[in-house]
Amino acid sequence: MKEKWQNLIKLIKMMVSYRPRIFLTIIGIVLIQVLLPVIQLYLSVQVIEWLINEEEIQTYLIHLAIFIGVITLLKISEHQFGVTVDKDTELFRNYAKTRLISNFVSLDYPLLIGKEAQEKYNNAVALTWNPWTLFGRVNKELVSLGSTFLGLIIYSSILIQLDSIFLIYLGIFIFFVTLFNIFQVKMDQKIYDEKAKVTKKWQYLRKLYGESRLAKDVRIFQMQHWFQRTEEETDQTYLATMKPKVWLTWSESVVINVGIIGLTAFSYSQSVRLVSEGAIPISNFVLYAGMVTILAQSILEFINVVGKFSTSLNEMGKFNTFMAQEPVFLHGEGEKVPKESLNIELKNVTYTYPNNEAPTIRNINLQIRPNEKLAIVGENGAGKSTLTNLISGLLQPDEGEILINYLPQKSFNILDYYSLFASVFQEKLLLTYTIKETIIQGLPFDQKKYEKTIALSGLKKLISQLQKGDETAIVKEVNADAIQLSGGQLQKVKLAQALYKDTPVLILDEPTAALDPIAEHQIYKDYFKFSKDKTSLFVSHRLSSTRFCDRIIYLKDGEIAEIGTHQELIEKQGDYYRLYEAQSYYYKQDKDSEQRERVTGGGTL
C-alpha cells in the first residue's frame, strides 16, 4: 500500500509538471457528472410538484425553461470538459513517452543490456504505447474515481433521509460487491499465465495462416486437418481456462442484481410509507426511486475503477523503476580528456554480462601504444566485442581498471570520454536521414571537413551519380524515394561517419562480417590508410584482413592466448596459426572452385 501511495504521489507530480490546469479540468467534469443526475431527477420532482399545485402555465414554462437551460449548459460544459480531458490525456501520454525516450537515450549503456534491463524498458514503454495503456487512460480513471466517490457521498446522504438503516443495507451491498471484485482480481492473476499461453498460440496460428511460404507445405503435406485439430484443441484449452472466471462472473452478476433489487425494494417501500404518512410529498417518491438506481451504478463503477486504478498505480511503479535508475558512470565534473595521442592500459580487467555466471573477459592485461594499429581476433564468443566495449566506455569492468594516459577511465565525465572514440559496429541500423545527415550525425557542420571526409571514404563518386546528391534519403521503409545501399556502400557511409567525428581512437568491430573475404579485405585496407594518425582497434574473425596491423592479440575463452605480429604468431604455430591456415585453405578452395566454374561454364568437368 505504501508503494502505491508513493506511485500516486509521483503520478500527481508528473501531471503537475506536465500541465497543472489538468486538475481543474478533472475537478470540473467530476462536479458536473455528479450534479447532473441530481438536477435531472430534481426536475422530474418539480414537474410533479407544479402539476399537483396547479402552477400557472406561464410560471411553469419559465421554471421549466430555467431547468432545461441549466441542464443544457451543464451538458455542453460536460462535453467541452470531456474533449479537453481527451486532448490532455493524449498530450500527457506523448509527454510521458517523450520523457521515457529522453531517459532511454541518456541512460548508461550497462543499464540497457541483459534480460532484466530489457524487461524494465519494455514494461515502461508499453505504458505509453496507445490510448488504452496507463498514460492513455489514467486521466479518465481519475475522472471516474472522483465522480463515483463524490457521487457515493451525495447520493447516499440523500437516500439516508428515508431511514438511517439504509446505511447498513448499503454497507452490506458494497461489502459483497467489493468481495467479488477481489475474487475477480485474484482469478485474473491466477489464470493470467495460462490465458497468455493460449493467446500467444492463437496469435502464432493466425500469423501462420497468412504466411504464403507455409501455403506450399500445407498442401504438399496435407496439413489442413492438423491445423483444424490444433485450433480446436486451443479453443478447448481456452474454454477450460476461462470456466472458473465465467462461473465467478455469473455469480457476481446474480449477487449484484439481487442487491440492487433489494435496495430498490427498500427505497420503494420506505418512500411509499413516508408518502402515506404525509412525511414527504408524493413527488419525492420519484427522487428516491431514481436515486437508488444512480447510487447502485455509482457503487459498481466506483469499485470497478478502484480496481483499475490500483492496477494503474502498480504499472506506474514499473515506469518509475525505469526512470529512477542511477547512473553507472560519472556524469559530473571529471578529469579533462587528453587531446594528444592516447596511451591505453588495461590492468587485470574482468567483465561478466548480466545473468551470466562465467566472465566473458577475464584478467586482461594489455597496453595499447599511441597511434598503434591493434587487431583483436579469435573465434566467435571469445570476447572481442566485449573488450572494445570496455575500452570505449560502453561497459564498466567488474574487476581491474582501464587507464587513459595513466588516469583511471572512471575519473572522466562519460560524455567527454566518448568524444575520444569513433566506432563502426557490425550492426548497421540507419535512421531516417539523408546521406549527409547520417555522416554529420548532429555534429557542427564544417564544409571543408565534410568534403574531405566524402573524398576519403570513397562516397564522392556515389553521391555524384544520385539525382539529389548527398540529400538522398537512405531508408526505403520510410521514404519511398530513398535508395537501397549495397553492403559496400553502407560501409563507406559508416566509414565517413567515423571519419567526420575525427577522434583519437578508431574502433572497427567486425563491420564487414556480412561481406565476402575479398570485399572485407579491401575495406580494411581503406581503413588502414585513413587511420594513419589514430590509435585503431580492428576486430575480426577473419585473420587475413588484420595481418598488417602493428600487433595482433588472439582471444580465447575471454583471455589473451597469444600476442604479437602476424609473422611472430605464424612462427609460433599456436591457435592463431591453426585458424589462419584453416581459413586460408577454405578461401583457396572457394577461389579454385570459382575458377573451375568459369572454365566449364558452371557445369561439371
For 460-499, the DSSP string reads: HHHHHTSTTGGG-B--TTT-TT-----HHHHHHHHHHHHH
Is 278's pLDDT higher than 90?
A: no
Residue 221 is given by DSSP the state: T
Residue 365 near residue 348 (C-beta atoms within 8 A):
yes
pLDDT at 259: 81
Instruction: Return the C-alpha cell found at 167.
Output: 446505511
pLDDT at 409: 95
Q: What is the dihedral of CA 575, 579, 581, 585, to 10 degrees?
A: 160
Is 64's pLDDT higher than 80?
A: yes
Complete DSSP assignment for 497-531:
HHHHH--SEEEEESTTTTS-HHHHHHHHHHHHHHT
Q: Give the lowest-confidence range in 7-11, 175-179, 331-335.
A: 175-179
Is 586's pLDDT higher than 60?
A: no
Query: Each residue of 387-415: pLDDT tens digit?
Result: 999 999 999 999 999 999 999 999 999 99
Long-range contact pairs involving 591-600 (C-beta distance under 8 Å, separation at least 24): none
Residue 590 confidence class, pLDDT cut points 50, 70, 90: very low
Q: Is 154 exposed, middle or buried (0-12, 13-18, 19+ CB in 10 A)?
A: middle
pLDDT at 330: 94
Higher pLDDT, 592 or 269: 269
Q: What average pLDDT does the segment 101-112 reach?
A: 92
Q: Give the lowest-confidence range in 4-13, 120-129, 260-269.
A: 260-269
pLDDT at 429: 60
Residue 28 is given by DSSP the state: H
pLDDT at 92: 92
- Sorted by where each starts, the structural domains of the chain and their CATH numbers stand as 2-323 (1.20.1560.10), 342-420+503-586 (3.40.50.300), 430-502 (3.40.50.300)
Query: Each residue of 516-569: pLDDT tens digit?
Result: 666 666 666 767 777 778 898 988 777 766 777 899 999 999 999 999 999 999
Q: What average pLDDT does the segment 79-92 reach?
A: 91
Q: Give the lowest-confidence range in 49-53, 267-271, 513-517.
A: 513-517
Is 513's pLDDT higher than 60?
A: no
Instruction: Return the C-alpha cell found at 536.
Output: 585503431
Three-class SS state of 249:
helix
Residue 562 phi/psi, 5-degree rounding, is: -145, 150
Q: What average pLDDT does the segment 193-200 reach?
A: 76
Q: Which H/E stretch holds residue 562?
A: strand 559-564
Distances (CA, A) of 496 to 71, 431, 449, 516: 68, 15, 11, 21
Q: What average pLDDT does the segment 241-249 reach?
A: 82
